[in-house]
A and B are shown apart, each in its own frame.
Chain A
Amino acid sequence: MHDDYRAPLAAGTFLGGYAKTFGRVSLAEVTGMELLHVAVPQGGQGELSARIEAATGLAWPPPGKFSVPEDGGPGMMLWLAEDQCMIASAADEGGSPARLAEAIGGAGYCTGQTDNWIVLRLAGDGAVAALERICPLDLDESVSPAGSAARTSMEHLPVIMLRESAAGFILLSASSSAASFLHAVETSVRNTAP
């Protein structure tokens, strides 16, 4: 009977696949996004970038930006700090962090990050107005155009903010405080509803 205990474990989602629309703003948990933290061994930027590009088509982004494959394929790579990036890929499109880490091999230091983060997508005409209530960063497009990646904090919680478009944002925050973070973002959306 012991083998019953070895049946596969069910994976949960941090926010149960939350998705809501408030007027013209939509807020939803992004599930199935795999995250891999990649750090550059000293002196190894060239080789690491080349391996990542070969495996994913993603170019190492400049500071404050994220890159997407030139061919429009899935995934993105976001700049985190000097010598550090995070690669985001959709689990169902073969973007397994383990496979990617294998492709990178010794050329980079890879750490799985999928379970460390909750991912929200905030989009729509009121997205910027909502973020103004919790985001200390300047959200004007002249300062933070589409393609920007920034680390900040909102309501005392750590956040990585990616700007997909003028009114489209991806927000990553710590998974343990997922409920508090969702509450903070949702409250901002509600508080700015027209």
Chain B
Amino acid sequence: MTANFRIGGGLVDSGTPVGFTFNGRRMTGLAGDTLASALLANGQRLVARSFKYHRPRGIFSAGSEEPNALLQLHSGAHCEPNTRATVTELFEGLSARSQNHVGSLDLDIMAVNDLLSPFLGAGFYYKTFMWPAAFWERVYEPLIRASAGLGRLSGAEDPDSYDKGFLHADLLVIGAGPAGLSAALAAGSSGARVILADEDFRMGGKLNADRCEVDAEPGAEWAARAVVELSEMANVRLLPRTTVYGAYDHGVYGALERLTDHLPPGSAQSPRQVLWRIRAKRAILASGAIERPIAFGNNDRPGVMLAGAVRTYANRFAVACGRRVAVFTNNDSGWQAARELDARGVRVVAVIDSRDGPPPEPVGQAKIVMGGRVVDTRGRKGLSRILLASGRSIAADCLAVSGGWNPALHLTCHLGGRPAWNESISAFVPGANLPPGMSVAGAAGGSLGLAAALHEGHAAALAALEHLGRAPTRRPVAAAHDEPVSGSALWIVSESRPRAWIDLQNDVTLKDVRLSHQEGFRSVEHLKRYTTLGMATDQGKTSNVIGLAAMASLTGRSVPETGTTVFRPPYTPVPIGAFAGRSRGRDFRPVRLTPSHAWAEERGAVFVETGSWIRAQWFPRPGETHWRESVDREVRMTRQSVGLCDVTTLGKIDIKGRDAGAFLDRVYTGTFSALPVGRVKYGLMLREDGIAYDDGTTARLDTHHFLMTTTTANAALVFRRLEFTRQCLWPNLDVHLTSVTDGWAQFSVAGPNARSLLERIVDAGHDISNDAFPFMACSALTVCGGTPARLFRISFSGELAYELAVPTRFGDALARRLMAAGEEFDAVPYGTEALGVMRIEKGHVSGNELNGQTTALNLGLAAMVSKKKDCIGKVLSERPELNGDDQFRFAGFIPVDRSEALDAGAHFLAKGARAVTESDEGWMSSVAYSPSLGHHIGLGFIRNGHKRIGETVRAWNGVRGRDIEVEVVSPHFLDPAGERLRA
């Protein structure tokens, strides 16, 4: 049986009960409740255990600043830890559990920590877990990890989906309280594109929480009408349940919209949350203010709450937070809370004002104590009594505390702004250095009154309209009165003897701040890190300023002199899933498929990711049990007869223009302007610093038309660099670039029967005989009865080989046709592994060799750097440090014991040399088992390699613990004279 703390009225629907469970107990709330208000309505004061001391904790606030009421929602894979009950919208069937206790919430055996608190002060684990060192990772770390954190993750994959999106606006209004609504109405009615975002599910902010009037009607009704009016404006977009969590460069704001968190888990089709990037020309921060507590002895008991929250629960949620409510305040808003509670029929037993002087007014039957201070409380699992400095004791089950208001200025600091101190409200307010385009209105700027909020919101909108070049609105400002807001600074009740909590979430007490100061931490940033003050999910929203005040009093400085820590995004927690969005699992990133992908799949190919491409790695045949069997067979059969490989992934760039040849001369080390039409040439590109960058062949298809190929990996990079040089370095050249990578399906046809195979599909009239179409020839022709094609006689494998390209739409059909026509030759498809083996056998360099550290000289390609002309990278490639003797030279390697395997990444050492950097003579870059030679072969770089053929060195691999002897040989293992490819 639960107590009923529900009072009448409010903005909840008393006709719509909502069932939910807390720790398995069935409870009933009302539509419009938060989980927190529903728990309070059911008399559930104890809802959590504190982080370190496992102290009983209750609901403290009514908003996103909540430090205590962090609950675990849902079960199974939907389980969500550390959810603030104060911002969780109640729905039928919601199941919530308390967290961070061993045993029940009522009898948490870890509460023993509270008894040990004298030993568990700030930094205790830095001092405690020091000895012996052998315990650090095996004992201490698991121990600390086990006690860290609050809730528990399910360990299952998140079953929800998340999305991202982009929004654009003239004006983003952050917060839909009086200032935000006023701003949105003014800007919206002028026709500007407005986005109004609020973290609450009901817009209105304090208008829903206070008993106030706007335009002579109750504030909540005015807010509801304003929201309806805004929703009818086509130029205004309302984003309730949306937290603008960060301000970023160029007017970009991050916002998290919670689309389905208020619905039973798994019941909605749409993604759970959307992470919006909002690009706004102007922004108005109208995020209101957060009430701050006062630190006094045992101020963390369930029932000690922020006064504004107690008022909100009564006015908006129709819940009394206690049967006997006392108010402790240092400012006028505490009195407002007391008055409104009394008016709502909540019994106020006392109002204790730390200020001296006459009481402003009587509040029902409440005792009024001016100049009073609460020094201690009683009641282990819920407040029962408060003790005043005067020695007086008052029975109360709820203490509503108001220590003044801190503007929620966090977003003003996200781009480096620092807040300024405002003495009149004893709080930090936004400084002068706001994010570009942002202005602040209402309580967020330190103007705590209602009329001021409405006026400032309106004025900020007018200013924004002027910036946007729009006509001002004629709409008048809504009328209201400013409530009294004066107060005096009181942070900590110095007469308190028991522990006084500053940061409820992290269990940081005044004693911890003292200890930190005593141990020499003077900067607030150090204080924060040493004590954890202001960390974790609430980011110190209620604790920050009193922590600074405590620090200030210890150092004898003022709060502004002490300064604040830096506020960074996100304002409130954002699930990692929302940041990931759709980019998870199979959708982690987009993939590119080759034109023969479906065909390769049908043949059972094993695929590999190469960049974003998915390529066939090898094509196993029935009976083959190891990849090497498949790859060796593909190599052997290609070298014996003919093989077919999809090489579409190589970058293809169409280069056209009167100066296309001259352009190529500048980007390649070789001369291309003299290349005859119908010929292909191998080209090497250097970076500006002279290091080799990319290679490939370029064909001259017409006088002013070249087709460049790049490596698969560098295709986009090369295109971008070429565009840069074309547009920025040589705008006077008549040359245009077009990527045609995806437009042509390209197949390598390699092996002694390659020509015979091609002759079966090339249309009559195209002579591809060795005489008519020799090595390095190219031509546009047609195949298969008129399909346009391009044929290049180039060879990566070292065989008689061609690359045949057709428009991509014909790629699948061409692969099948080539295989059909190749049947009489036992043609095989081969994948990237066989491709790699054959290029290593031939001694061609690839990505492993063009690794961003090697020069043309290192690669054995120095002769390709033309002496007769300049090109990018040429001057710096001539640096003495990159030339002369003792450079790394490209070479081949074979194991002295031919049965040994080689390791890529092995380093070369002289026999007897120690395996230290000073002895390093080079490295193995590529290795393969050569089915043609019957043993392993390797390519690599070794100092002066070209003069060391026949020498024996060690290939040392510290990772795999291998150290074998290898012989330095020519990198061209197969057909060094190139007779095959010219056959």
Contacts and interface: CB of A to CB of B under 8 A. Distances in A.
Contacts of B817: 5, 9
A14 B660 CA distance: 32
- Among A109, A142, A175, A183, chain B packs the most CB atoms within 10 A around the CB of A109
A184 B590 contact: yes
Interface stretch (B81-89, B736-744, B873-881): B736-744
Contacts of A113: 738, 740, 743
B741 A111 contact: no
Given A5-B817, A13-B809, A84 B742 contact: no
B229 interface: no
B612 A177 contact: yes
Interface in B608-657: 612-613, 648, 654, 656-657
B820 A11 contact: no
B491 to A, nearest CB: 46
Interface string B794-822: 00000000000011111111100100110
A135 to B, nearest CB: 6
A139 to B, nearest CB: 8
B897 to A, nearest CB: 45
A112 interface: yes
A184 B738 CA distance: 25
**Category for how many chain A residues contact B:** 35 or more
Nearest to B658: A41
B736 A116 contact: no
B193 interface: yes
Nearest to A106: B704
B807 A191 contact: no
A175 B742 contact: yes
A181 B742 CA distance: 14
A187 B784 CA distance: 39
A113 B809 CA distance: 12
Interface in B775-791: 783-787
A137 B814 CA distance: 39
Contact of B590 (A37, A132, A177): A177
Interface in A80-123: 83-84, 109, 111-117
Contacts of B587: 183, 187
A138 B785 CA distance: 48
Contacts of A177: 590-593, 612
Contacts of B593: 176-179
A140 B168 contact: yes
Contacts of A193: 269-270
Interface stretch (B158-166, B515-523, B929-937): B158-166
A139 B807 CA distance: 34
Contacts of A11: 807, 809-810, 813
B734 interface: yes
Interface string B648-690: 1000001011100000000000000000000000000000000
Contact of B742 (A8, A176, A190): A176
Interface string B893-916: 000000000000000000000000
Interface string A27-47: 000000000010101100000
Contacts of B739: 116
Contact of A111 (B658, B738, B811): B738
- Among A5, A7, A176, chain B packs the most CB atoms within 10 A around the CB of A176
B471 interface: no
B736 A112 contact: no
Contacts, number: 149
Interface string A1-26: 01001111111111000000000000
A98 B268 CA distance: 51
Contacts of A139: 168
Nearest to B764: A6
Contacts of A39: 656-657, 736, 738
Contact of B582 (A117, A136, A140, A187): A187
Interface string B546-558: 0000000000000
B651 to A, nearest CB: 12
B211 interface: no
Given A9-B806, A39-B738, A143 B656 contact: no
B814 A111 contact: no
Given A39-B736, A111-B738, A184-B590, A9 B814 contact: yes
A180 interface: yes
B270 A5 contact: no
A186 B648 CA distance: 27
- Among B734, B742, B808, B814, chain A packs the most CB atoms within 10 A around the CB of B742
A151 interface: no
A5 B591 contact: no
Contacts of B821: 2, 5
Nearest to B166: A136
**Category for how many chain B residues contact A:** 35 or more
A8 B654 contact: no
B809 A41 contact: no
B206 interface: no
Contact of A7 (B594, B784, B810): B784
A137 B760 CA distance: 50
B774 interface: no
A157 interface: yes
A10 to B, nearest CB: 5
Contacts of B732: 42
B656 A109 contact: yes
Given A12-B812, A176-B593, A5 B166 contact: no
Nearest to A84: B736
B70 interface: no
Given A115-B744, A133-B164, A83 B760 contact: no
A112 B67 CA distance: 62
Contacts of B814: 9
Interface string A49-86: 00000000000000000000000000000000001100
B784 A175 contact: no
Given A39-B656, A83-B736, A174-B592, A133 B165 contact: yes
A8 B785 contact: yes
Interface in B686-741: 704, 732, 734, 736, 738-741
Contacts of A83: 736
A125 interface: no
Contact of A114 (B613, B743, B761): B743
Contacts of A190: 269
Interface string A159-194: 000000000000000111111110110011011110
B760 A5 contact: yes
Contacts of B811: 12
B738 A10 contact: no
A174 B738 contact: no
Contacts of A13: 809
Contacts of A176: 592-594, 613, 648, 741-742, 808
Contacts of A192: 270
A179 B612 CA distance: 13
A38 B734 CA distance: 14
A191 B784 contact: no
B733 to A, nearest CB: 8
B221 interface: no
A5 B820 CA distance: 8
B295 interface: no
Given A39-B656, A155-B582, 7 more contacts: A5-B760, A10-B810, A114-B807, A133-B163, A177-B592, A191-B163, A191-B270
23 contacts: A5-B761, A7-B784, A8-B785, A8-B787, A11-B813, A12-B812, A42-B732, A109-B656, A109-B657, A113-B740, A116-B741, A133-B163, A133-B274, A140-B193, A143-B168, A156-B589, A157-B590, A175-B742, A183-B587, A187-B582, A188-B163, A191-B161, A192-B270
The 4 closest A-B pairs by CB, nearest first: A180-B590, A39-B736, A176-B592, A138-B168
Interface of B: 161, 163-168, 193, 269-271, 274, 277, 279, 582, 587, 589-594, 612-613, 648, 654, 656-658, 704, 732, 734, 736, 738-744, 760-761, 763, 783-787, 806-814, 817, 820-821
